[in-house]
Amino acid sequence: MISRDEYFMREALKEAQKAFEYGEVPIGAIIVANNKIISKAHNEVERLKDPTAHAEMIAIATALEFFNNKYLDHCTLYVTIEPCPMCAGALSLTRISKIIYAASDIKYGYTLFHPSILHKKTEVKNGILKDDAIKLMKSFFENKR
CA-to-CA distance for 12 and 55, rounded, in angstroms?
10
Nearest partner of 74 among 124, 35, 42, 116, judged by Cα: 35
Catalytic one of 15, 24, 44, 56: 56
Q: Which amino acid is at 37?
A: I
Given a contact cutoff of 8 angstroms between Cβ atoms, the answer to whether 77 and 29 are in contact is yes
CB neighbourhood size of 7 (10 A): 14
CA-to-CA distance for 73 and 79, rounded, in angstroms?
17
> Does residue 15 carry a catalytic annotation?
no
Catalytic residues: 56
